Amino acid sequence: LAKTTQPISMDSYEGQEVNITCSHNNIATNDYITWYQQFPSQGPRFIIQGYKTKVTNEVASLFIPADRKSSTLSLPRVSLSDTAVYYCLVGPGYSSASKIIFGSGTRLSIRP
């Protein structure tokens, strides 16, 4: 599984756009990029997944450059409830009972 590097923590304010970048220099051809969110005392929750270019859903956008060696999770107009740990995961499509290897994630703190 490709190693990922993301900031340990980030701070922002309500109403701001937050961008969390993840580096994955050794990403393989068949790897997807997946982001999960975890609130305290809750299970990780899938946010978004992509392979290349841009993916957008009702929660976030994921930007992936052509070389796929990094990706950026973009959270538009964050609120206090977006305070959580965000995990960047890189691996093959999770279609065959593949385990998820979680890193330490990015602890995002949103202030009023």
What residues line the site for another protein (CB under 8 A)? Answer: 32, 34, 36, 38, 41-46, 49, 92-104
Query: Which residues, 6 or more positions from 72, have their beta carbon under 8 angstroms from its beta carbon?
Result: 19, 20, 21, 22, 62, 63
> Shortest gap between Cβ of 2 and another protein (angstroms)?
16
Nearer to another protein, 42 or 112 (CB): 42
> Shortest gap between Cβ of 78 and another protein (angstroms)?
22
> Shortest gap between Cβ of 8 and another protein (angstroms)?
13
Dihedrals phi, psi of 81, to nearest 5 degrees: -70, -5
Nearer to another protein, 80 or 100 (CB): 100
Measure the CA–CA gap between 39 and 47, rounded to whole angstroms: 12
